[in-house]
Amino acid sequence: MKKYPLVWLCASALLVGCASRSVDNIPSASEANRSVAVGETPSAGAIDGADTYGTEQSLLDGQGIAMGEGEVADVGRSFGSDTYFDKEAIYDPGSPLSQRVFYFEYDRDTLSDQYLDTITDHGRYLATYPEALARLEGHADERGTREYNIALAERRAQAVKRLMMLQGASYNQIITISYGEEQPAVLGQTEDAYSRNRRVELVYE
């Protein structure tokens, strides 16, 4: 969490430096820190200050990365490992690609940078092997209404998809499906259970 804004500072700096390619809406570091997103609950009437219960912000809405048709950003250089993945890497339990569940942090509903690294790795795997197909399953914790939670979890899955596409994965390689609160990983009403249910799972097909 603490490292996160720093990563974005570097990313922004690198991008500003890449004058030959432009990407829409790259935020400044201060914008990234704000994490303003569609779906943010106004704090009127909230308990405990920033009340994020039930309104789960999309991973990257605060970063506002929009992709133009056919454009690829060089964001991949700033995080993710530099390893080249061979085709069998997705079957290797020792590879970073074995991490298939991405959790969202408790108080801000953003991914910590450890998951950003892994997601970009998966994105680059898909970019390297255009015949590989993946499915992203979005999940939410149980608070709030079911259909609204389906929509929130879809947003999350799509944000992970966008990040993978930034690495060169194509739109058609990745399906997203949202289960909302219907497929919890863990039963229970504690904050710990909730944080383990707020996730996106990746399945290679």
- List interacting residues with another protein (CB under 8 A): 38-42, 44-47, 51, 53-55, 135, 142-148, 150-152, 154-155, 175-180, 182-185, 187, 189
CA distances from 4 to 21, 38, 104 (A): 24, 20, 13
Beta strand spans in 50-189 (E): 101-103, 134-139, 174-180
CA gap 114, 82 in Å, rounded: 14
3-class SS of residue 155 = helix
Nearest approach in angstroms of CB 109 to another protein is 13
Residue 172 near residue 131, CB atoms below 8 Å: no
Residue number with CB closer to another protein (14 or 133): 133
Nearest approach in angstroms of CB 39 to another protein is 5
Q: Which of 149, 136, 69, 66 is nearest to 100 (CA)?
A: 136
Residue number with CB closer to another protein (131 or 147): 147
CA gap 39, 61 in Å, rounded: 10
Residue number with CB closer to another protein (122 or 155): 155
Nearest approach in angstroms of CB 117 to another protein is 27
Structure tokens at 33: 């820190």
Nearest approach in angstroms of CB 150 to another protein is 6
Residue number with CB closer to another protein (116 or 140): 140
Residue number with CB closer to another protein (89 or 174): 174
Nearest approach in angstroms of CB 52 to another protein is 10
Residues composing the chain: 205
